[in-house]
């Protein structure tokens, strides 16, 4: 008989979280450690990565810090040598340039693509082969609702998030026979440094909150459940998935609330 009480247990597993110094990545580090994983907090900001690891250890859990720059092939290769083969790989870093597509420069395009898409590719190339050779592993990349729905100013960012989704789906198909699972988490609007520009504009901030069914933004901690689920045996038959954590953003129109009749009244429309 299965012991379902242990399906989320990550004891004895090593989880590398790239982008673990802040935002969703940092929250994921704490969440994975809380379920027993030894967490490697990887980030380009090594000082903040060390702070995250020390805070986790202060709670009596296991963690270490690692410097990794997804835009630098040498840095990623060095991280691969230092880490070896993790049981769980989480990839969260992203940047954005919010401007009309036809105003985006070549340099801006390359910068966004270079981290959001090529950086993910580098991480996969470095860590996935060892997982496949071992015959087990869980890869979790962060995409976005922008992989499905867009708005003005999000052209390049949305392209990277759709690209991440399709790249992970292809990898899931390729590595499934080797026992490696690969999935994507797609947040809605989350209170992170990436969304600071929106938070500074009250009308914009409120409009985003009202777009979701819950009428609010998410805290980074609210992405942790999805990460722990996909990292654990609770999702042992889940791969190639696009797990939306968006408070219904993509499920509802949300642009207009129609004047519905009062409860009990006949609706003739």
Choice between 209 and 254, residue whose per-residue pLDDT is larger:
209
Helices 106-116, 155-175: inter-axial angle, 10-degree rounding? 30
Q: What is the pLDDT averaged over residues 248-255?
A: 83
* Distances in whole angstroms, Cα of residue 171 to Cα of each of 167, 181, 182, 241: 6, 9, 7, 11
- Pairwise CA distance, residues 61 & 53, whole Å: 9
Is residue 264 pLDDT above 60, yes or no?
no
Distance, CA of 86 to CA of 127 (rounded, Å): 7
Count the Cβ atoms, other than its own, within 10 Å of residue 263.
5
Question: Taking 90 as the threshold, does the pLDDT of residue 199 lie above it?
Answer: no
User: What tokens appear for 21 in the block?
Assistant: 């110094």
- Kindly report, residue by residue over 147-188, the tens digit of the pLDDT: 999 989 999 999 999 999 999 999 999 999 999 999 999 999
Structure tokens at 183: 């999935």
> What pLDDT was estimated at residue 194?
75
Q: What is the pLDDT of residue 5?
A: 94
The single residue listed with the structure tokens 């759709």 is: 162
- Catalytic residue numbers read 157
- Closest-CA residue to 167 (of 97, 226, 116, 133): 116
> Residue 22 above 50 pLDDT?
yes
Of 14-23, 34-43, 54-63, 249-258, give the lowest mean pLDDT range.
249-258
User: Average pLDDT of 77-88?
Assistant: 98
CA distance 258 to 200: 29
Beta bridge pairs of residue 67: 43
**CATH architecture of residue range(s) 11-245:** 3-Layer(aba) Sandwich (3.40)
DSSP H/E element including 26: helix 23-34
Q: How high does pLDDT run on average in the chain? A: 94
Using only the alpha carbons of the chain, give its radius of gyration.
19
Question: Is-contact 116 157, C-beta < 8 A?
Answer: yes
Band (266; pLDDT cuts 50, 70, 90): very low
Domain residue limits, the chain: 11-245
Q: What are phi and psi of 95, to 5 degrees?
A: -130, 165
pTM over 0.95: no
Please give the Cα distance from 126 to 218 (Å, whole number). Answer: 31
């Amino acid at each position: 008989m299965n012991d379902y009480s242990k399906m989320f247990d990550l004891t004895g597993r090593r989880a590398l979280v790239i982008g673990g110094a802040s935002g969703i990545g940092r929250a994921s580090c704490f969440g994975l450690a809380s379920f027993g994983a030894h967490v490697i907090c990887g980030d380009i900001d090594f000082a903040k990565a060390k702070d995250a690891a020390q805070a986790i250890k202060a709670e009596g859990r296991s963690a270490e810090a690692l410097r990794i720059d997804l835009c630098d092939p040498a840095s990623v290769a060095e991280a691969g040598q230092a880490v070896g083969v993790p049981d769980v790989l989480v990839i969260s870093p992203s940047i954005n340039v919010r401007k009309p597509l036809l105003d985006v420069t070549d340099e801006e395009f390359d910068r966004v693509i270079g981290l959001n898409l090529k950086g993910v590719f580098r991480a996969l190339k470095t860590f996935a082969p060892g997982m496949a050779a071992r015959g087990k592993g869980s890869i979790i990349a962060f995409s976005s609702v922008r992989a499905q729905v867009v708005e003005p100013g999000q052209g390049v960012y949305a392209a990277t998030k759709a690209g991440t989704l399709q790249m992970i789906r292809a990898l899931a198909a390729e590595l499934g026979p080797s026992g490696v699972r690969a999935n994507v988490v797609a947040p809605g609007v989350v209170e992170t440094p990436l969304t600071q520009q929106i938070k500074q504009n009250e009308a914009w901030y409120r409009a985003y909150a009202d777009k979701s069914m819950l009428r609010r933004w998410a805290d980074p901690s609210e992405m942790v459940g999805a990460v722990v689920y996909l990292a654990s045996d609770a999702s042992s038959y889940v791969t190639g998935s696009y797990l939306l954590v968006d408070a219904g953003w993509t499920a509802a129109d949300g642009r207009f609330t129609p004047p519905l009749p009062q409860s009990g009244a006949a609706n003739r429309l």
